[in-house]
Structure 1
Amino acid sequence: MSAGYLYPQFYHFECPRTQEIVNSVGAKAVAEEVHMVASLLWFHFHDRFVEARGPNWEVPLGRRDSRKANLSVSNNDIPVPNETFTTVLNKFN
């Protein structure tokens, strides 16, 4: 398999507990911040029905851009909802 190949079952083989871990982290986030429920519901609805035009789709997985997350880079490089268009555009240039 080439380094850039993506397929929906990637984590089934690489980390079989992925779904369990994601569910656990999601439950913890909701327990700590009640408003997270509304955000997750909106995200789920928007991506499933608006973006994907239906209730189901396969997501290709397997990108290995980094072996670890970097909070400061994420906080600086990922746009936030209240940024201006120019600021967001500059982050992607």
Structure 2
Amino acid sequence: MTQSVSFFIVAVLLVFAPLCLGAKNNGGYLYPQFYDRSCPKAKEIVYSVVAKAVYKEPRMAASLIRLHFHDCFVKGCDASILLDSSGSIVSEKRSNPNRNSARGFEVIDEIKSALEKECPHTVSCADILALAARDSTVLTGGPSWEVPLGRRDSTSASLSGANNNIPAPNNTFQTILTKFKLQGLDLVDLVALSGKH
């Protein structure tokens, strides 16, 4: 089981490398040292909470990866999946691909709470999702890498984007391939992710 989960997580992260590594945000490039001065313990705090959650429930590692995947496929890796419905926001959590299946929100909430105590209003939820995905991989026996940081959180969600952009299990092969290509991903990425998913 652990080997299977590790392969799945590695496959997912290899698929997302093109989306996350070349990302630009606020006119600048993302870089791993983004919080080194403003919140030096950020990575340590994220890892600690993720480790506790995965130790308690090993399946949580895959769930955190899936949150990052579903977030990135809608409006980019901007944490829009975490927004609840309020005012003009209709949450992506209510979309068909996420309803009754996306999980791990409480782990992200716990990480955010710990980071707010350490360095208020500093670390974005989008970066928390990216770090939690990497840490989930490491904790299940996969490789480690430096996560480019500096993403900013979305202030809007896209229910229609979640319903239309996230590949669904009943999509045709051509539809899934098109959805991957729209994200800058190719057939190899699709096979790596879908084959294990």
> Under TM normalisation by the shorter chain, which class is it?
0.3 to 0.5
TM-score (norm 2): 0.27
